[in-house]
Amino acid sequence: MNTSRLATLVVAAIAGALFAAGLVVSGMTQPAKVVGFLDVFGNWDPSLALVMAGAVAVHFVATRWILRRPAPVLEQRFRLPTVSHIDGRLLVGGALFGVGWGLAGYCPGPAVTAAATGNVVTLAFVAAMLAGMALHDGLRARAERGVLFKSRKRS
Amino acid sequence: MSETNLVSPIVGGAMIGTAATLLLLLTGRIAGISGIVAGLLNAREPDRAWRVAFVAGLFGMGAVLAALWPAGFAIEITRPLWLVLVAGLLVGFGSRLGNGCTSGHGVCGLSRLSPRSLAVTLTFITTGIIAATLTRLAGVGA
């Protein structure tokens, strides 16, 4: 393993740890607090809106500056999402995600971080989340194979 | 931590933004948790090592803080288990179908002023509000 590849792994681990610390400090790892943020017509706790505000404030300014570089410090290129159109699939996915988030008060980052507590309910959530991801990716791979097969037959 | 504590969410949010910034500046990658985790599940994903390192950092810090400051996790989930499982399935499936979650769209995408991420973020906040409200009204696990 060369030096820059090793450095990438160290940076990824540090970024993951800092991300988790931020989630815990901000209150995102307390499901009841997250549900309280989403329950706007109940006993609303709007403070978690500041988490996204704080994160975007830092990352927005930094991103302007970082993306002026031809490449990141340790790698050859930036790996940014290339798709930009908004379609039904995207919005349905976001809608389903939001329902799950509002039901349990966990999104993926806080769930993985809180899984380290060993709490059975949190572990059950994470297991179901991983199953949901695998189900989607499995169905999509099947669908893509189907498309490839059909187009090959046509040509 | 009181409900009116506004400093912690801002500081925690800034830490999350700094973590995403470190990852983008040094490695050129997006701190989207659902995408990172899903890549670990895919045996054919060629770019796995950094994902393992990131998730190890996330989980490792979770373990450290769970020992030092258990109140930060306040797991008073009063929902019945079946609802937690349904929620987990929806979060997993939906984040993959929608190409991201609160971190990838809500933090990284919004910071790049991506219209796609704005659309998804508004969508999941809306349905999250609906789900949280209906759950309270239905009295499930209240």
Please tell me the predicted confidence (pLDDT) of residue B86: 98
> What SS3 string covers B99-131?
CCCCCHHHHHHHHCCCHHHHHHHHHHHHHHHHH
Please tell me the predicted confidence (pLDDT) of residue B140: 79
Q: Which of B2, B52, B73 to mutate to test the interface with A (most CBs of A within 10 A)?
A: B73
Task: Number of A to B CB contacts under 8 A, please give it.
Answer: 488
Percentage of chain A surpassing pLDDT 90? 86
Please tell me the predicted confidence (pLDDT) of residue A145: 87
Q: Can you state the angle between helices B7-27 and A3-26, rounded to 10 degrees? A: 170
Q: What is the tens place of the pLDDT at every residue in B23-59?
A: 999 999 999 999 999 999 988 888 999 999 999 999 9
Please tell me the predicted confidence (pLDDT) of residue B1: 41
Length of chain B: 142
**Chain B residues with beta carbon closer than 8 angstroms to that of A57:** 13-14, 17
Please tell me the predicted confidence (pLDDT) of residue B11: 98
Please tell me the predicted confidence (pLDDT) of residue B4: 60
Subunit contact B84:A124, Cβ cutoff 8 A: yes
Burial class (CB in 10 A: 0-12, 13-18, 19+), B56: middle
Please tell me the predicted confidence (pLDDT) of residue A152: 52
Lowest mean pLDDT among A112-116, B2-6, B18-22: B2-6
Q: Is the pLDDT assigned to residue B2 strictly greater than 50?
A: no
Q: Where are the domains of chain A?
A: 3-154
> What SS3 string covers B51-99?
HHHHHHHHHHHHHHHHHHCHHHCCCCCCCCHHHHHHHHHHHHHHHHHCC
Q: Is the pLDDT assigned to residue B75 strictly greater than 60?
A: yes
Burial class (CB in 10 A: 0-12, 13-18, 19+), B139: exposed
**Chain A residues with beta carbon closer than 8 angstroms to that of B9:** 26-27, 47-51, 54
Range B56-65 average pLDDT? 98
Q: What is the tens place of the pLDDT at every residue in B120-136?
A: 999 999 999 999 999 99
Please tell me the predicted confidence (pLDDT) of residue A154: 47
Q: What is the tens place of the pLDDT at every residue in A76-121?
A: 999 999 888 999 999 999 999 999 999 999 999 999 999 999 999 9
Q: What is the tens place of the pLDDT at every residue in A45-83?
A: 999 999 999 999 999 999 999 999 999 999 999 999 988
**Chain B residues with beta carbon closer than 8 angstroms to that of A66:** 21, 24-25
Give pTM, 2 decimals. 0.94
Instruction: Enter the tokens of residue B94.
Output: 């939906």
Percentage of chain B surpassing pLDDT 70? 94
Subunit contact A80:B31, Cβ cutoff 8 A: no
Range A138-148 average pLDDT? 87
ipTM of the prediction greater than 0.90, yes or no: yes
